[in-house]
């Protein structure tokens, strides 16, 4: 990928070294989701997963007030679909994230609401500003957070998730950290992103890609099925060039030189 991808009107793309940054650029709408945002995110994730030079994707929102406020209610068409289509755009983005073997990191710089919780939840890791808030306020407008439940159910305790869905009231960044919804909270969210990337980018690209594949595949498996799958996967890990190099570097007491293969 080039250092700076062509700008779109609603999603900015930028390569920073080996990391693709995606910024929802609708600050006047609190970075609400639109068809253009969905299409841009989907296309960017597809390109990232086809390019081994991309080691991670960071998703964030423009400005400091909102990560993503969810659907754009001002448009009046946020929940109008082509009901002849069994698969819808937002759900397809979650499916795509589930298939991603490039780590996705949410940089939550402000309010993370409704569908924004889904975008955050579909990411493998998340860091948040100490001023961020997290909420599922759909019941306040006569709806319910349906699709996002598929990516939040494994992240929040059931009682907490039920309260957030049924009352529509938000939680703080500190509470999100306590519940395990995010990895880190800091007054300087960029320092948290750098901290996380710094501990990831020096590791084996091949191990991370195949490891994410393995983690995501076994999530819905029963124990014995999971064991059968993972005992075959470890043999494939060991066959990679990175595994050979990593073990040799360990024995030679030096830093490994990863090929990513």
DSSP state of 12: E
Give the list of residues 6+ apart from residue 182 with CB closer than 8 angstroms, or none.
Answer: 106, 108, 126, 127, 128, 173, 176
For residues 209 and 135, membership in a common domain is answered with: no
Domain that holds residue 210: 205-252
Q: Are 107 and 58 in contact (CB under 8 A)?
A: yes
Statement to judge: residues 209 and 192 lie in one domain? no
- Please indicate, yes or no, whether the overall pTM of this predicted structure exceeds 0.95: no
Same-domain status, 136 and 235: no
Residue 258 resides in a domain: no
Which burial class, exposed, middle or buried, applies to 61 when counting CB atoms under 10 A from its CB (0-12, 13-18, 19+)? buried
- Asked if 121 contacts 136 with a C-beta cutoff of 8 angstroms, the reply is no
What confidence tens digit (pLDDT) does each residue in 105-126 have? 999 999 999 999 999 999 999 9
**Domain shared by 47 and 114, yes or no:** yes
> Does residue 24 fall inside a structural domain?
yes
- Residue 3 in any domain: the answer is no
Is the same domain home to 48 and 77?
Answer: yes
Residue 1 lies in a domain: no
What was the pLDDT predicted at 119? 98
Our count of domains for the chain comes to 2
Predicted local distance difference test score (pLDDT) of residue 3: 46
pLDDT band (50, 70, 90) for residue 183: very high
Q: Are residues 171 and 247 in the same domain?
A: no
Structure tokens at 47: 């390109």
Beta strands in 30-92, from DSSP E residues, in sequence order:
56-61, 66-68
């Amino acid at each position: 990928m080039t250092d700076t991808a062509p700008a779109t009107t609603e999603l900015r793309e930028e390569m920073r070294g080996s990391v693709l940054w995606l910024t929802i650029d609708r600050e006047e709408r609190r970075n609400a989701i639109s068809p253009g945002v969905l299409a841009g995110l989907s296309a960017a994730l597809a390109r990232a997963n086809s390019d081994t030079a991309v080691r991670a994707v960071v998703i964030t929102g423009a400005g400091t007030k909102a990560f993503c406020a969810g659907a754009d209610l001002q448009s009046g068409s946020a929940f109008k679909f082509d009901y002849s289509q069994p698969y819808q755009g937002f759900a397809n983005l979650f499916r795509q994230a589930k298939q991603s073997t490039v780590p996705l990191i949410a940089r939550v710089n402000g309010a993370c609401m409704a569908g924004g919780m889904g975008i955050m939840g579909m990411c493998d890791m998340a860091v948040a500003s100490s001023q961020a808030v997290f909420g599922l306020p759909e019941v306040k407008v006569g709806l319910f957070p349906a699709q996002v439940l598929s990516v939040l159910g494994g992240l929040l305790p059931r009682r907490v998730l039920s309260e957030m869905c049924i009352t529509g009231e938000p939680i703080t960044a500190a509470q999100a950290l306590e519940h395990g919804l995010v990895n880190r909270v800091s007054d300087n969210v960029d320092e948290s992103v750098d901290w996380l990337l710094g501990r990831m980018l020096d590791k084996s690209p091949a191990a991370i890609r195949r490891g994410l594949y393995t983690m995501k595949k076994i999530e819905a498996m029963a124990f014995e099925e999971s064991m059968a799958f993972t005992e075959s996967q470890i043999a494939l890990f060991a066959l990679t060039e990175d595994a050979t190099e990593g073990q040799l570097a360990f024995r030679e007491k030096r830093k490994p030189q990863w090929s990513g293969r």
